[in-house]
Structures are given as C-alpha cells and as structure tokens.
C-alpha cells in the first residue's frame, strides 16, 4: 500500500522541489528547505537515541523558536507526538502537563518557573539543543503513517484541567490545504510567528506556510517594534495580529520608520490601511476567520466561503461536514439552536488518556464541539456560544449562552450570565445576572424586552439581578458560584 502524506513528507518534498527557498528565519538562523530537512533527520535520530519511538511524547517548554517546527517535523519522522506547552502557565499548571503528558524528552528555555520543575536529562535550548541535534545520524527513520497523532495541544478544560488534543499529519495537512486556499497563499508567502505556537491560531498558519513551501519567520513573543522590523526586513505577508496588537504596531510605526507594505491584511483603521496592503483574499475580504477550535485543526467554518451570508461564522471547510444536533443526536432544522458537530479530514484523533471523554465527544460518529450554533436559511452557520448547561423551562430548552449573547448586545450591558432558578409552574425560569457599564442605566423590564426582541419569548429572563461583576472560571462564567449566590437549581438531570 502506498502511504499518504505526513508532515515529514511535506518537508522532504520541498527539500527536492524548492532547494533554494528559505524555509526558516529565526534571528541569525536562516535555513533553506534542504538545510531544514537535514537538521530534522538528525534531530529525529537524536530523539530516537533518547528512547523516543512511535507514540512517545516530546515536550517543548519555551517561547517561539524554529526549534518548535523542527521538533514537530522530527516527531513526524518518528511517529512521535510533539507538544509545545504554554510557557505562560504557573508551576502547578506546568507540573500537571508534565505528569499528564509523560514526555520522553523535554527541551526547555530557562525561566524561573520552568527551572523549578527541571529534571536531569532535560535538553536546554540554544547551544545544548544544537549539540543534541548534531549528534543524530543522517539515516531516514522511515515512519510513514499519516494517521498517527503528531501534535498535541492542551485545551478543553472540561473538569478544571486541560486535555491534550491529538492531531495527526493527515488532519494537519487537510486543514492547511483548506486554509491556504481560503487565504490564497502563493509561493513566496512569508508568515511571522509572533503569536504563541502553543495556540492553534498561530500553529495553523505556520503549518499552512510549510505546506505551500513558504517562509516561516520566528520571534519569541509579540513586540510591536520587533514585528515592524521583521515585516520590513523579511517582507512578511502575514503575521498573527488582531485588535490591540494592530494598534500597538501602528503606534510603533507612527513615524513611518518601517515599510510594512508587504503585509497583506484585513482593513482595520485608516492609519493601519495606509501602512499595509489591504488584502482582498476571501480570508481578509471583510472579517478574518469564522468558527474553529483546536480539535478541528483550527477552522471548521470560514467567513471567506460565504460573502454576504446570514450566518456569522460562514460556511464549513470543503473537507468537513457540519451538523447542528439536538441533545438526542437528531439534526435540528434551520433557525433552531443546537450543538455544532462535525466530522471530516481535519478533525483530531481524540484527547490523550481521556477514554471516557473521547467516547462522549464522538458519540454517533460526530465530534461534539461543546459549542452552540444555528444553521441559517441560506445554509451558513452562526456560532452562539459554549454549551455549558441547559435550562428547562416548561417543555422548552433554553441555552444560557444564547441569552447571554443577546444581553451583551444591549448598549448598557458590559457583562451578563444566565442561570436557571426553580419555578413552581415552569420547573425552571430564566434569571439574568447583569453588569451595567459605568454611568449606564437599564431596567429589568427593558433588558427582558431586549431579549424578547431577538429570541423566542420563553427565552427572555423572568428575573434580572444587577451585580458589580460576574464570577469567572477562566474566560467563562462560574455557573456554580452564580447558582449558589442567586438561587439556581432544578437543572435537567440534576
């Protein structure tokens, strides 16, 4: 049987077909594709000498570096799994990752937090890494299974701790192919890896750039002045930038010191648009993005595939299927809210060491994203929010995220959370806990009517309480704390 395409194969092909193209730029390091390919082979064999075999894990603890891409590609060459950890985490969080991942090899950059966890045998970045790599042989390890997991990214803290989502070469190649088409990447495409590579948003563009045979430029972390310098020096086509980061770049280049015209990006402000080239690819035509998550390789739907669409998340990638499902697994009709579920080429292989979670997330043969959405009449998708819990009012299902989204659209509201409270007639009633902006006023009746104007009447809050803040777990409301403080209860299944 002829094997399919691994990330290692992508690199090997570029080494032959693009021998003069620069693959990597990282400070003083500049590597052509043949040079990168040779280093990856040596690194793979050096890892193998440390006991890294198919299925074993390799961990990177540090900021952005060309070593991240090399370790991922070397892992692909062995059938191993590479994980770039979130170096911003606390010692406790990183200790959990080490215990959960059980890596065979750890490559690390010195920091106070990481140093407190370091162990004998860890490979220091820089000179130590280079010495380790140079010790590997030049023999091809020959691993060929593109369905084997190769990348682990921690996400999905369903029980208060994250899980490692496993992505195969096949999934990553498929996602890269979709992304490079929507972004209309061409030879010469240069991506600045200034966003964190432990985040799928940066990693997906890094790998799509590899896929098209472009140039990946690395910088340790976002610094507006350094981004300007690198865009000018390397003629960067795209960088990991949004909102406040773009504003910081504009401020850093206020005097026009750097030429940023090579950067093809979405329109943002008059100053930004004057410095850059407003891109007309589907990815940047109006708004970047769509709907995605780590478990789908990055993007599941693209706004660029649905110009003028009713759905705020666009249309699905051509390599996936999307269904909006009810709790019983049946597909809900257009206009109704359900869970966004998917299957297809770019989806992940499950979570590491989470058999029960994997079974629950793949029931019925579909990946259950845990997010709520709606298919519109034109077939496009609207993302509503995370499916955290359901309220049962009478015989109707009410999803807190849907009501919260509408409440937050009120001009006086800065934050809101929705819980279910016991109700003698309806079993549960909707209660909203609302934070108003400084100097803003709004009555409970006004907010209820605001919701009723956009959602079915039974979804509007019957009770509204005003608060100074919403308790949070990470970026989401702490619903247990809200229930305790505001009388929540009677949830289905409780």
Residue 260: give its domain's CATH number.
Answer: 3.40.50.12780
β-pair partners for 293: 298
User: What is the pLDDT, as a whole number, of residue 381?
Assistant: 96
Distance between CA 364 and CA 347 in Å, rounded?
A: 15
Distance between CA 361 and CA 371 in Å, rounded?
A: 12
User: What is the pLDDT, as a whole number, of residue 156?
Assistant: 66
Q: Would the CA dihedral through 379, 385, 387, 389 be positive or negative?
A: negative
User: What is the pLDDT, as a whole number, of residue 435?
Assistant: 96
192, 340: one domain: no
274, 294: one domain: no
Asked whether 296 and 281 are in contact (CB, 8 A), the reply is no
User: What is the pLDDT, as a whole number, of residue 52?
Assistant: 97
Domain boundary (386, 405, 423) is at: 386
User: What is the pLDDT, as a whole number, of residue 2?
Assistant: 64
Domain membership of residue 2 (yes or no) is no
Query: Which residue range(s) make up the domain with 256?
Result: 7-278
User: What is the pLDDT, as a whole number, of residue 441?
Assistant: 94
Distance between CA 344 and CA 150 in Å, rounded?
A: 18
Q: Exposed/middle/buried for 332, CB within 10 Å: 0-12, 13-18, 19+?
A: middle
The closest of 459, 428, 460, 431 to 446, measured between CA atoms, is: 460
Residue 331 gets which letter from DSSP?
Answer: B
Domain boundary (328, 352, 386) is at: 386
Contacts of 25 (CB under 8 A, 6+ apart): 66, 215, 216, 217, 218, 234
94, 242: one domain: yes
242, 298: one domain: no
Domain membership of residue 493 (yes or no) is no
Domain boundary (359, 386, 413) is at: 386
Distance between CA 442 and CA 410 in Å, rounded?
A: 9
480, 441: one domain: yes
47, 166: one domain: yes
247, 370: one domain: no
66, 215: one domain: yes
209, 118: one domain: yes
Total domains present in the chain: 3
Domain membership of residue 146 (yes or no) is yes
Domain membership of residue 492 (yes or no) is no
32, 164: one domain: yes
Give pLDDT < 50 ranges for the chain: none
239, 184: one domain: yes
Domain membership of residue 283 (yes or no) is no
Tens-digit pLDDT profile for residues 370-429 = 888 999 999 999 988 777 677 888 767 787 888 898 899 999 999 999 999 999 888 899
Domain membership of residue 141 (yes or no) is yes
């Amino acid at each position: 049987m002829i094997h399919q395409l691994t990330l290692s194969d992508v690199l090997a092909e570029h080494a032959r077909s693009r021998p003069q193209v620069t693959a990597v730029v990282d400070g003083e390091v500049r590597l052509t594709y043949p040079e990168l390919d040779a280093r990856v082979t040596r690194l793979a064999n050096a890892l193998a000498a440390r006991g890294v075999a198919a299925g074993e894990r390799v961990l990177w603890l540090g900021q952005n570096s060309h070593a991240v891409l090399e370790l991922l590609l070397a892992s692909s060459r062995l059938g191993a799994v590479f994980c770039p950890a979130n170096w911003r985490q606390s010692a406790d969080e990183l200790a959990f990752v080490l215990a959960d991942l059980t890596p065979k090899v750890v490559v690390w950059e010195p920091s106070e937090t990481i140093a407190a966890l370091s162990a004998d045998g860890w490979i220091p970045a820089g000179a130590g890494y280079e010495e380790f790599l140079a010790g590997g042989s030049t023999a091809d390890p020959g691993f060929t299974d593109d369905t084997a997991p190769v990348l682990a990214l921690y996400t999905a803290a369903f029980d208060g701790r994250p899980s490692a989502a496993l992505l195969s070469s096949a999934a990553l190649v498929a996602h890269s192919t979709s992304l490079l088409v929507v972004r209309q990447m061409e030879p010469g495409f240069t991506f600045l890896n200034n966003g964190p590579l432990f985040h799928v948003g940066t990693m997906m563009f890094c790998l799509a750039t590899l896929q098209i045979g472009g140039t990946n430029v690395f910088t340790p972390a976002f610094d507006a002045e350094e981004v300007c310098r690198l865009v000018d020096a390397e003629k960067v086509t795209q960088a990991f930038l949004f909102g406040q980061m773009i504003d910081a770049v504009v401020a850093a280049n206020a005097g026009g010191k750097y030429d940023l015209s090579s950067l093809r990006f979405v329109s943002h402000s008059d100053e930004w648009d004057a410095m850059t080239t407003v891109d007309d690819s589907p990815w940047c035509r109006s708004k970047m993005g769509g709907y995605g998550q780590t478990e789908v390789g990055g993007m599941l739907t693209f706004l660029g595939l649905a110009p003028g669409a009713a759905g705020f998340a666009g249309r699905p990638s051509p390599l996936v299927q999307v269904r909006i499902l009810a709790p019983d697994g049946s597909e809900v009709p257009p206009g109704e809210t359900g869970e966004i579920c998917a299957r297809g080429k770019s989806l992940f292989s499950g979570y590491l060491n989470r058999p029960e979670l994997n079974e629950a997330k793949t029931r019925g043969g579909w990946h259950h994203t845990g997010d709520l959405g709606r298919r519109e009449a034109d077939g496009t998708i609207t993302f509503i929010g995370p499916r955290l819990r359901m309220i049962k009012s009478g015989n109707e299902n009410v999803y807190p995220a849907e009501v919260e989204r509408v409440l937050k659209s009120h001009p006086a509201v800065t934050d809101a959370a929705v819980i279910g409270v016991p109700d003698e007639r309806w079993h549960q009633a909707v209660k909203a806990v609302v934070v108003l902006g400084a100097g803003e006023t709004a009555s409970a009746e006004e907010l209820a009517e605001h919701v009723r104007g956009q959602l079915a009447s039974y979804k509007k809050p019957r009770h509204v309480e005003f608060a100074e803040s919403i308790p949070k777990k990470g970026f989401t409301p702490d619903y247990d704390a809200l229930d305790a403080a505001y009388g929540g209860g009677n949830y289905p299944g409780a």
